[in-house]
Structure 1
Amino acid sequence: MSIITTLPTNLESIAHQSRVASISRTTKETDIQVQVNLDGDGKCNVNTGIPFLDHMLHQICSHGLLDLDIQAKGDIEIDDHHTNEDVAITLGQAIAEALGNRKGINRFGHFVAPLDEALIQVALDFSGRPHLSYGLNIPTERVGNYDTQLVREFFVALVNHSQITLHIRQLDGINSHHIIEATFKAFARAMRMALEMDIRRIQEIPSSKGVL
């Protein structure tokens, strides 16, 4: 006996709808251009002027299967704070625009990522309500030239402008690089889970209120 599974007739057309966006942000401190494709295959073309941040953005692309093109110029001769924050602001805005009304998505995502001794848990909800619960204990002030306080600032800005609820928990870890990288990997996989389409309610907004 053979079983044929039939997907909703409108699924193919919905699957081919582009979830892409381009956002520019220019201030007296930074000039940021972001292009995002939520249904990509991990292409990453980023140049923020902050090498460690570029490395983390590559983790988002690779493990979240987003295509990102981010070009940033900022006042890094002062420090990396403005550029780090404004990249996250613009990326959050681009994700929100590409996602639209959030119809048909799984909405929730979670992942636990190990990296050697580090173990990081991320849970998130594309709820439309920005909230960050940040539980990292990074033991050093810097990784290379990157100020590790900027990890929290990145996620604060991203959460506020993509309008997601994000919980980050450090379950283990003593190496700063490992802790931060595992965080970005866990975030990427959790976001990928949340953004994938739920074929059982492909035309519905995933909320009992009917809106996110």
Structure 2
Amino acid sequence: MEEKRTAFIERKTTETSIEVDINLDGEGKYDIDTGIGFFDHMLELMSKHGLIDLKVKVIGDLKVDSHHTVEDTGIVIGECINKALGNKKSINRYGTSFVPMDESLCQVSMDISGRAFLVFDGEFTCEKLGDFQTEMVEEFFRALAFNAGITLHARVIYGKNNHHMIEGLFKAFGRALSEAVSKNTRIKGVMSTKGSI
């Protein structure tokens, strides 16, 4: 029987209390409560379009702003992805997705390499969407990538509507992650000539 690729991590600091439960072989089921409505919606989209079951519960210092809540959530989701992947045997390792959202087009490419890196190319024309600070999109993906051990490239190719562009990035991330973590029976061991990733 194949081992389940799931993980649960709880992280508490003076700024946030976070619980994340993930199933990489899920159906896109989600239960998200970060206290930031727009951020909840983006994580729901990431889960649904990535076919990854995701539960996230966050109590953060939102009286300050959304920074700690969003960044720390990225940290814990990244840690959960890394933990759930286990030995990484037979995974595709690479994933790329282009997602159109009305007038916008976004791309996310990743390599589950064990080498954390982020290239982010996207500019937003408003400071906030609801209570979510748009500058935190990049910080979320940086925190996730560096704690998951992923080389991540995320870019808004073009677009005008800030909601559409950010939504496209989260959907594209989910789809690229789904491709990268999927197993291929033709891959014996890990997808690396070094024998480890």
**TM-score normalised by structure 1 residue count:** 0.91
- Structure 1 distance, partners of 2:94, 2:190, is 13
Q: Bigger radius of gyration, 1 or 2?
A: 1
What is residue 165 of structure 2 aligned with on the other side?
A: 179
2:71 to 70, 85, 100: 85
CA deviations 1:144-167 (Å, max 9, x no partner) are: 221100101100100010010011
2:10 to 24, 29, 32: 24
* Structure 2 gap ranges (5+): none
Matches for 1:1-212 after TM superposition, within 5 Å? 13=1, 16-201=2-187, 203-212=188-197
* Structure 1 gap ranges (5+): 1-12
The answer on whether the counterparts of 2:37 and 2:130 sit within 8 Å (CA) in structure 1 is no
Report the secondary structure of 1:199's partner residue: coil
CA deviations 1:4-45 (Å, max 9, x no partner) are: xxxxxxxxx3xx320000001000011001100000001100
Aligned residues: 197
What is residue 7 of structure 1 aligned with on the other side?
A: none
Report the secondary structure of 1:156's partner residue: helix
Amino acid at match of 2:196: V
The answer on whether the counterparts of 2:31 and 2:54 sit within 8 Å (CA) in structure 1 is yes
Structure 1 residue 142, shift from structure 2 partner:
1.2
- Structure 2 distance, partners of 1:110, 1:174, is 23
Q: Percent of aligned positions with the same letter in both sequences?
A: 46
**TM-score normalised by structure 2 residue count:** 0.98
Amino acid at match of 1:67: D
Report the secondary structure of 1:23's partner residue: strand
What is residue 4 of structure 1 aligned with on the other side?
A: none
Structure 1 runs (4+) deviating above 4 angstroms are none
- Structure 1 distance, partners of 2:124, 2:150, is 23
- Structure 1 distance, partners of 2:19, 2:127, is 29
CA deviations 1:45-66 (Å, max 9, x no partner) are: 0101111110010011100011
Judge which range, 140-149 or 190-199, deviates more: 140-149
- Structure 1 distance, partners of 2:156, 2:6, is 32
